[in-house]
Amino acid sequence: MHPRTPHIETKLPAVGTTIFTVMSALAVEHNAVNLGQGFPDFNCDPALVQAVTDAMQQGLNQYPPMPGIPALREAVATKIKALHAREYSANTEITITAGATQGIITAILAVVRPGDEVIVLEPCYDSYVPNIELAGGTVVRVPLTPHTFRPDFDKIAAAITPKTRAILINSPHNPSATIWSREDMLQLQELLAPTEVLLISDEVYEHMVFDGRQHESAARYPGLAARAFIVSSFGKTFHVTGWKVGTVVAPAPLMAEFRKVHQFNVFTVNTPVQHGLAKYLADPTPYLELPAFYQRKRDLFREGLKQTKFKLLPSEGSYFQCVDISEVSELSESDFCQWLTKEIGVAAIPLSAFYGNGFDQRVVRFCFAKKDETLQAALARLAKL
């Protein structure tokens, strides 16, 4: 007999190597400045590292409670009440997750059944669609308005059917760096009010909103909060994306279903990091100062880009900057990003990668969550354009 690996039918036939992996590998190969993948190249606050180190040294290294340590859940509840005037029970309505990505798939697996439809607004983060497909749901793609990336509520309304289980929204938005306004949230609240549609609100860039504007969390709107899983990320907020720790809040009946899945797909999350974060959150200054921190980097980057032929799109939130390449090149977005990496030495991401049909509107995305010297090095190369 010969050893044989049984054949399996893939659950995700459309999934291959992500554009982030491709562009990062190309950046390494050509010694390019990587402004493609969205993570900082600078360190977090040493006080946060020390808080986690202290927890380890104090022996806090065994399993924590399944939904997260009480101190961290209480800290999250306090933060949301202070920022959005919404009270969540730390005991029954807040769960600590292994990053926002796990939070999103857990919410989807908890509520989506085969045959259910889930609306996603494109362009969208690349985990949404595979998550829905793994749950047996049907993805219903609704495009945001090209170039402005505003929600089209007529199209959203037309997409809602008796089979619609949930809608996924993301603000501040990856990849476009737009944010939803109060008017947008009120319109969504009104649209969903007569339905049984659940909301999954991806708010991982919640503390990166610029020019004095406010993050309009779903928690601020009673009609949305009552039907929403709200997903946040400590990794994004505190420059520690590799720690993979996030949080999900939801009304108790929804959270009870969420925890049933969470218990069996991850069970619980890194103990000393949770204790470190709980201690660090006692002072709100780091996240309250984050808008100014990233706005300075945004402005530095935008000033440099003004010396090129790129047309700058608004960057209202997140740590991304999108540009229109129409005056720079006739290449497609994807081909342009490869050319830019190889010939100019700067890596970017094509927005077409965030659409199921590869829609190309001549826009690419840069990440400015980088040291000033990294941004200056990239701008010096882009000045050749």
- Phi, psi at 34, each rounded to 5°: -90, 100
Q: Note the pLDDT tens digit of each residue in 13-71.
A: 988 878 888 888 999 999 999 999 888 999 999 999 999 999 999 999 999 999 999 99
Q: How far is it, in rounded angstroms, from Cα 19 to Cα 77?
A: 36
Helix (H) or strand (E) run with residue 119 in it: strand 117-122
What domains does the chain contain, in order, with CATH numbers? Answer: 19-44+288-382 (3.90.1150.10), 46-284 (3.40.640.10)
Write out the two tokens for 268. Answer: 């619980």
Q: How far is it, in rounded angstroms, from Cα 82 to Cα 145?
A: 33
Q: How far is it, in rounded angstroms, from Cα 133 to Cα 118?
A: 10
Q: What is the pLDDT of residue 14?
A: 87
Evaluate if residue 164 carries a pLDDT over 90.
Answer: yes
Average pLDDT over every residue of 316-320: 98
- Phi, psi at 31, each rounded to 5°: 55, 45
CA atoms 27, 33, 36, 38: torsion sign: positive
Q: How far is it, in rounded angstroms, from Cα 122 to Cα 152?
A: 11
Q: What is the pLDDT of residue 17?
A: 79
Q: How far is it, in rounded angstroms, from Cα 134 to Cα 11?
A: 7
Q: How far is it, in rounded angstroms, from Cα 332 to Cα 346?
A: 17
Evaluate if residue 337 carries a pLDDT over 90.
Answer: yes
Q: What is the pLDDT of residue 275?
A: 98
Cβ partners under 8 Å of residue 234, min gap 6: 240, 243, 245, 246, 247, 277
Q: What is the pLDDT of residue 1?
A: 83
Q: How confident is the model at residue 299 (pLDDT cuts 50, 70, 90)?
A: very high
Write out the two tokens for 234. Answer: 């400590």
Q: Note the pLDDT tens digit of each residue in 192-250.
A: 999 999 999 999 999 999 999 999 999 999 999 999 999 999 999 999 999 999 999 99
Contact 346, 385 (CB under 8 A): no
Span of 36-40, 309-313, 377-381 with lowest mean pLDDT = 36-40
Average pLDDT over every residue of 73-85: 98
Write out the two tokens for 88. Answer: 């969540």
Strand partners, 365: 322, 349
Q: What is the pLDDT of residue 318?
A: 98
Strand partners, 346: 33
Q: Note the pLDDT tens digit of each residue in 125-162.
A: 999 999 999 999 999 999 999 999 999 999 999 999 99
Evaluate if residue 87 carries a pLDDT over 90.
Answer: yes
| Closest-CA residue to 75 (of 270, 236, 234) | 234
> How far from each other are the two terminal CA atoms of the chain, in whole angstroms?
62
Average pLDDT over every residue of 340-349: 96
Evaluate if residue 312 carries a pLDDT over 90.
Answer: yes
Average pLDDT over every residue of 262-289: 97
Strand partners, 140: 119
Mean pLDDT of the chain: 97
More confident residue, 284 or 24: 284
Q: What is the pLDDT of residue 24?
A: 87
Q: How many residues in the chain?
A: 385
In Å, how far from its chain's centre is CA 1? 49
Q: What is the pLDDT of residue 347?
A: 97
Q: How far is it, in rounded angstroms, from Cα 100 to Cα 168?
A: 13
Strand partners, 146: none
Percentage of the residues of the chain whose pLDDT score is greater than 70:
100
| Closest-CA residue to 315 (of 211, 207, 191) | 211
Q: How confident is the model at residue 2 (pLDDT cuts 50, 70, 90)?
A: confident
Cβ partners under 8 Å of residue 45, min gap 6: 238, 239, 280, 286
